[in-house]
């Protein structure tokens, strides 16, 4: 009996002291949309999902052909990317973004842009005591990336908003222009101010630019507007790419969300370490996808065709949303309209769900998103027409 009692006590002690397994992360926010999705599905005309923003139009044939042509790929691909895909990125930056002088060694394909956003603080060696600054209204993964590294995420649209003690701990500054969810664009002067301030602190600036080809109004190049500037633009960087990273994805402009085709460029002094770390972790974009990425970057025509589709949908949705009583702000670029009805976010989400329309709650993007919703342009023309009819129906 005595021996048995001792064994039981030891077992209890072991159970009491055992550490739990798994990461301590918040629940994925979109799970909260389940009841609103169910309400919308009950609409007699079916659901119109304008929430998450996943592309629905076909992947262009020339990109599918490139994927098929590269399907015989028995060997391991390279983490750094083939010379051909890195050359395509360099040429694209010069042709479409006004960025000259980018070295192919300072380019790396990534498995979509979200994984880089989530892992960049960790890959940069950030940890306890370090601060990652992200926009006040922002994509949640910036916060998750800081948390994975053990760093602190701080919401601010300017480093001037931070107190001296916090400024001293800033190691990474996220810029998102055009922004998700707001569609706001930072011009050259504003970007340069962020870069200059961050450099004064010795921090890295990472610019998430995946909507740059989808500018509207003053930023609509096809309608005589100005191109959305990159953090690597010489007017911003001064021709010095050190500690500056441009993150880009082809998910939106080329309907390649399913391919996870993206890349990061800049910071030639940091890139070798990023490449080496990703080699150890096996973070490799498959070779057939690298080939699809290369071909997609070399063809501007399909990008403009897709942009025309989004422009038409946007022009139909804006007056319909306004007729429903929503006020649209920012929304200068990208695939979203940032709206408010001047009421609680979930009240607006619920009223729209009753009409069979699902939108993104602004509260998913930080405290400053309260009272707002995000409406995606990513639905087929028939569904957009259905949304317009429902929004304008008294």
Over residues 25-48, the pLDDT tens digits come to: 988 888 999 999 999 999 999 999
Q: Is 255 helix (H, G, I), strand (E, B) or coil?
A: coil
Looking at residue 2, its pLDDT comes to 47
Looking at residue 377, its pLDDT comes to 98
* pLDDT, mean of residues 187-213: 98
Structure tokens at 145: 């990336």
CA distances from 362 to 265, 330, 386 (A): 30, 14, 23
Angle at 255 between CA 252 and CA 261, to 5 degrees: 80
Phi, psi of 107 (to 5 degrees): -135, 140
Neighbours of 228 (CB within 10 A): 25
Q: What is the pTM of this model?
A: 0.93
Give yes or no for residue 121 having a pLDDT over 70: yes
What would you measure as the largest C-alpha separation in the chain, in angstroms?
88
Give yes or no for residue 5 having a pLDDT over 60: no
Over residues 56-98, the pLDDT tens digits come to: 999 999 999 999 999 999 999 999 999 999 999 999 999 999 9
236/229 Cα distance (integer angstroms): 8
**107-111 and 261-266: which strand pairing?**
antiparallel
* pLDDT, mean of residues 133-144: 97
Strand partners, 358: 49
Give yes or no for residue 12 having a pLDDT over 90: no
Over residues 285-308, the pLDDT tens digits come to: 999 999 999 999 999 999 999 999
Q: 181 falls in which pLDDT band (50, 70, 90)?
A: very high
For residues 81 and 104, is the Cβ–Cβ distance under 8 A?
Answer: no
The secondary structure element, H or E, covering residue 188 is helix 188-201
The pLDDT mean for the chain works out to 95
For residues 117 and 140, is the Cβ–Cβ distance under 8 A?
Answer: no
């Amino acid at each position: 009996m005595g021996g048995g009692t001792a064994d039981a006590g030891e077992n209890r002690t072991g159970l009491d002291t055992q550490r739990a397994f798994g990461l301590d992360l918040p629940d994925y926010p979109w799970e909260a949309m389940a009841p609103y999705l169910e309400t919308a599905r009950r609409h007699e005309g079916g659901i119109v999902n304008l929430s998450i923003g996943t592309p629905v139009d076909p992947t262009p044939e020339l990109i599918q052909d490139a994927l098929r042509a590269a399907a015989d790929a028995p060997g391991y691909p390279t983490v750094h990317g083939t010379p051909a895909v890195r050359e395509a990125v360099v040429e694209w930056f010069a042709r479409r973004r006004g960025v000259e002088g980018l070295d192919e060694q300072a380019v790396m394909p990534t498995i979509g842009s979200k994984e880089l956003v989530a892992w960049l603080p960790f890959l940069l060696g950030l940890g306890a005591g370090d601060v990652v600054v992200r926009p006040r209204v922002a994509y949640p993964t910036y916060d998750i990336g800081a948390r994975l590294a053990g760093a602190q995420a701080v919401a601010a649209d300017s480093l001037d908003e931070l107190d001296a003690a916090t400024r001293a701990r800033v190691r990474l500054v996220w810029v998102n222009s055009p922004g998700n969810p707001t569609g706001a664009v930072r011009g050259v002067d504003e970007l340069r101010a962020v870069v200059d301030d961050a450099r004064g602190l010795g921090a890295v600036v990472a610019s998430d630019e995946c909507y740059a080809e989808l500018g509207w109004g003053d930023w609509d190049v096809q309608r005589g507007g100005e191109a959305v500037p990159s953090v690597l633009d010489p007017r911003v960087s001064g021709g010095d790419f050190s500690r500056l990273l441009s993150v880009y994805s082809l998910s939106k402009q080329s309907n390649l969300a399913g391919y996870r085709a993206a890349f990061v460029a800049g910071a030639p002094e940091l890139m070798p370490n990023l490449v080496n770390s990703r080699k150890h972790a096996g973070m490799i974009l498959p070779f057939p996808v690298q080939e699809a990425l290369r071909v997609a970057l070399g063809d501007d025509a399909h990008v403009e065709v897709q942009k025309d589709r989004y422009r038409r949908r946007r022009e139909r949705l804006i007056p319909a949303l306004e007729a429903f009583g929503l006020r649209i702000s920012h929304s200068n670029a990208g695939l979203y309209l940032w709206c408010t009805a001047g009421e609680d976010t979930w009240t607006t989400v619920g009223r729209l769900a009753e009409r069979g329309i699902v939108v993104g709650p602004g509260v998913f993007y930080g405290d400053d998103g309260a009272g707002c919703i995000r409406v995606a342009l990513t639905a087929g023309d028939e569904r957009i027409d259905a949304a317009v009819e429902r929004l304008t129906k008294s």
